């Protein structure tokens, strides 16, 4: 009887937040004996020693950016994915986990310790770090000032311009507005990322002659030469009487007129995208919402394409042209942009769902591409001020809480009451309002912490009730030719230079795979035999 009372007391002192059951969990802690861990380690060793660098020329490049996808998103995102699949969670494997090479990237802007997406995307796509809020220009210009002459002098050539010059095709896909920071860095030059449409320009800026981001995409190179453009932000291209925000012109009509002498198509829904897939038009512009695309958990499958839908459609279009010999290769940028926005609003669940969708897209991409000629990079522009903390038990609901009286795993309120605390929390952001009333912490058990719209706790409101970015290094995952270059710790600006080296675009660094003789050694033995036989004959 005494033993029974002790067991019941322990159950009261230790409370675990339940995990929703979504399948059969065939793995348990009892399986994790000495043989289990030794087997896992041996498999890893065999996998690593079987790897060797693919020392060949990069023909195609896919850059996947998880906006705000720090390691502090990847780890709880992995657990969340596992728990959605009915597992304890921690043992789950991501598509990212299977990449052969990984490294760390330093993300600061030239003027800020903790960066924004504009400066970081510019570093990734041009190879030059710059100021916060800048797209496609170096840091010689004053922030948010309009001097067209100085902006022109500060312009940076990006990887899309270089690709187009080398007869490669290009594409940009995003779940944000196509004029937002990361996609905008692919084609625009501006000292203010917020100048997305003419409606965003003050009279002073407009009269000084600065051109906003949407117009640059339609009128200027490389934007007007990009083959595939998918995202949101339709309102930035339409006039006010057509449901947009523009004052000057309908940029969709302008884009169509500019492409009237070549095969092209404009898309505005998932149905349009499905109907276009096999058309192989030279140019395609898909704007699938007035602003950002909906979060994955809020998406209408009939109307709204997912990140995977858009990414794979873009890849199929560019890969198909390359396989048919219609291009010299391609450069494709894919941004899962709403991971970032979920974190900004302290919507951890939404951010994790966006992350899982990115990982799903990466899985399908890796099944489609030829890693002998295609370099695949997955990274983040920056991190976020989110933590996976406390001492939760193995398999504890990642969205839930920790409460263990026996070991002090709880929060003591001023009135002496003991309450649980959340595994996921933020340094700042709007979640503070839901979790603190008159400065006193709210019991999470009284909140619907598995709701899509649940805001995780934060310690203060954040600037303008908006959670901030994080400044720590982010991960980079690499596979394909020259992917071994992306191990170690690098400046974010290194990414473009590593790609250009693989594409034989850095002339002062010798590369054996760039010589004409290397083309023969990269052929299959049968093809080499046939060539030699034909020459001798």
The span from the CA of 492 to the CA of 297, in Å, is: 31
Per-residue pLDDT, averaged over 181-205, amounts to 98
Per-residue pLDDT, averaged over 198-205, amounts to 98
pLDDT reading at 8 higher than 50: no
Q: In the prediction, which pLDDT does 369 show?
A: 99
Cβ(521)–Cβ(509) below 8 Å: no
The span from the CA of 498 to the CA of 505, in Å, is: 10
Q: How confident is the model at residue 534 (pLDDT cuts 50, 70, 90)?
A: low
Residue 263: φ, ψ to 5°: -70, 125
Residue 408: φ, ψ to 5°: 80, 20
Sheet with 283-287, strands from edge to edge, namely: 264-267, 283-287, 228-232, 169-177, 330-336, 60-66, 374-379, 474-479, 101-106, 488-491
Pick the more confident residue, 537 or 46: 46
For a pLDDT cut of 90, what percent of the chain falls above it?
A: 89
* Mean residue pLDDT across the chain: 94
pLDDT reading at 6 higher than 70: no
Per-residue pLDDT, averaged over 341-350, amounts to 99
Contacts of 323 (CB under 8 A, 6+ apart): none
pLDDT reading at 328 higher than 90: yes
Q: In the prediction, which pLDDT does 104 show?
A: 99
Does domain 60-385+468-513 fall into CATH 3.40.720.10? yes
Q: How confident is the model at residue 525 (pLDDT cuts 50, 70, 90)?
A: very low
- Comparing CA positions, the residue from 418, 416, 406 lying closest to residue 443 is 418
Q: In the prediction, which pLDDT does 278 show?
A: 84
Cβ(67)–Cβ(231) below 8 Å: no
The span from the CA of 402 to the CA of 440, in Å, is: 18
pLDDT reading at 517 higher than 70: no
Q: In the prediction, which pLDDT does 335 show?
A: 99
For a pLDDT cut of 70, what percent of the chain falls above it?
A: 91
Q: Which of 408-422, 453-467, 521-535 is predicted with the least confidence, judged by mean pLDDT?
A: 521-535
Q: Which of 102-111, 225-234, 339-348, 528-537 is predicted with the least confidence, judged by mean pLDDT?
A: 528-537
Pick the more confident residue, 510 or 15: 510
Q: In the structure encoding, which two tokens stand for residue 268, read together?
A: 């505005």
* Domain range annotation of the chain: 60-385+468-513, 401-465
- Comparing CA positions, the residue from 380, 476, 495, 477 lying closest to residue 68 is 380
Pick the more confident residue, 525 or 169: 169
Provide the 10 A C-beta neighbour count for residue 301: 9
Strands (E), 39-178: 60-66, 101-106, 169-177
Q: Where are the alpha helices (DSSP H) in 303-446?
A: 307-323, 338-344, 348-368, 431-435
Tens digits of per-residue pLDDT, 435-468?
A: 999 999 999 999 999 999 999 999 999 999 999 9
Q: In the prediction, which pLDDT does 13 show?
A: 54
Q: How confident is the model at residue 66 (pLDDT cuts 50, 70, 90)?
A: very high
Catalytic residues: 117
DSSP label at 42? H
**Residue 220, exposed/middle/buried by CB under 10 A (0-12, 13-18, 19+)?**
middle
DSSP 445-495: GGS-TTSTTPPPPBSS--GGG-PPEE-S-EEEEEESTTGGGG-EEEETTHH
Angle, CA 533 vertex, CA 531 and CA 535 arms, to 5°? 70
DSSP 58-96: --EEEEEEETT--HHHHHHHHHHHHHHTTS-STT---SG
Q: In the structure encoding, which two tokens stand for residue 483, read together?
A: 């992917």
Angle, CA 265 vertex, CA 261 and CA 270 arms, to 5°? 180
Contacts of 315 (CB under 8 A, 6+ apart): 62, 332, 365, 368, 369
Per-residue pLDDT, averaged over 81-107, amounts to 98
Q: Which of 33-42, 137-146, 406-415, 509-518 is predicted with the least confidence, judged by mean pLDDT?
A: 509-518
Q: In the structure encoding, which two tokens stand for residue 381, read together?
A: 């522009």
Q: How confident is the model at residue 29 (pLDDT cuts 50, 70, 90)?
A: confident
> Which residues carry a binding-site annotation?
67, 180, 182, 335, 340, 344, 381-382, 469
- Distance, C-alpha 283 to centroid of its chain: 24
Q: In the prediction, which pLDDT does 537 show?
A: 55
Q: In the prediction, which pLDDT does 7 show?
A: 44
Q: In the prediction, which pLDDT does 521 show?
A: 42
Contacts of 304 (CB under 8 A, 6+ apart): 269, 270, 288, 289, 293, 294
- Distance, C-alpha 98 to centroid of its chain: 17
Q: How confident is the model at residue 27 (pLDDT cuts 50, 70, 90)?
A: confident
pLDDT reading at 532 higher than 80: no
**Size of the chain in residues:** 537
Cβ(342)–Cβ(431) below 8 Å: no
């Amino acid at each position: 009887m005494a033993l029974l009372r002790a067991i019941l007391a322990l159950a009261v002192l230790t409370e675990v937040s339940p995990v929703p059951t979504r399948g059969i969990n065939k793995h348990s802690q009892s399986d994790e004996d000495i043989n289990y861990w030794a087997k896992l380690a041996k498999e890893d060793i065999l996998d690593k020693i079987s790897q060797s660098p693919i020392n060949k020329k990069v023909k195609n490049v896919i850059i996947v950016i998880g906006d705000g996808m720090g390691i502090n998103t990847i780890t709880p995102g992995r657990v969340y994915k596992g728990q959605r699949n009915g597992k304890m969670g921690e043992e789950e494997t991501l598509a990212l986990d299977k990449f052969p090479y990984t490294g760390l990237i330093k993300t600061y802007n030239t003027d800020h310790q903790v960066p924004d997406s504009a400066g970081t995307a510019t570093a990734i796509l041009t190879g030059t770090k710059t100021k916060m809020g800048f797209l496609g220009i170096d840091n010689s210009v004053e922030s948010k000032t309009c001097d067209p002459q100085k902006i022109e002098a500060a312009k940076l050539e990006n990887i899309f311009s270089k690709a187009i010059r080398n007869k490669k095709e290009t594409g940009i896909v995003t779940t944000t507005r196509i004029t937002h920071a990361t996609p905008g860095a692919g084609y625009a030059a501006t000292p203010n990322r917020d100048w997305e449409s003419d409606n965003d320009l003050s009279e002073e800026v407009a009269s000084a002659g600065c051109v906003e981001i949407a117009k640059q995409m339609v009128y200027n190179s490389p934007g007007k030469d990009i083959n595939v453009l998918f995202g949101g932000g339709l309102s930035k291209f339409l006039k006010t009487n057509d449901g947009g925000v523009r004052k000057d012109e309908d940029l969709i009509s302008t884009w169509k007129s500019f492409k009237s002498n070549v095969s092209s198509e404009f898309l505005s829904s998932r149905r349009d995208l499905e109907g276009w897939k096999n058309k192989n038009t030279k140019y395609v512009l898909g704007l699938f919402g007035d602003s950002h695309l909906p979060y994955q958990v809020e998406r209408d499958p009939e109307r709204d394409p997912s990140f995977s839908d858009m990414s794979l459609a873009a890849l199929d279009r560019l890969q198909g042209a390359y396989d048919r010999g219609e291009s010299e290769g391609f450069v494709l940028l894919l941004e899962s942009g709403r991971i970032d926005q979920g974190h900004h609003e302290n919507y951890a669940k939404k951010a994790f769902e966006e992350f899982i969708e990115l990982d799903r897209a990466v899985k399908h991409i890796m099944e489609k591409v030829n890693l002998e000629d295609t370099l695949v990079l997955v990274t983040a522009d920056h991190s976020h001020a989110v933590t996976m903390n406390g001492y939760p038990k193995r398999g504890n609901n990642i969205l839930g809480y920790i409460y263990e009286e026996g070991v002090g795993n709880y929060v003591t309120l001023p009135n002496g009451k003991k309450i649980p605390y959340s595994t996921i929390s933020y340094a700042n952001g709007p979640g503070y309002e839901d979790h603190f009333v008159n400065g006193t912490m709210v019991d999470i058990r009284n909140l619907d912490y598995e709701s899509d719209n649940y805001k995780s706790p934060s310690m203060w409101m954040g600037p303008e009730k908006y959670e901030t970015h994080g400044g720590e290094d982010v991960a980079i995952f690499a596979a394909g030719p020259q992917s071994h270059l992306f191990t170690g710790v690098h400046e974010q600006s290194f990414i473009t230079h590593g790609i250009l080296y693989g594409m034989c675009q850095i002339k002062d660094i010798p590369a054996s795979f760039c010589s004409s003789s290397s083309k023969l050694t990269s052929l299959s033995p049968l093809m080499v035999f046939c060539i030699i036989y034909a020459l001798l004959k």
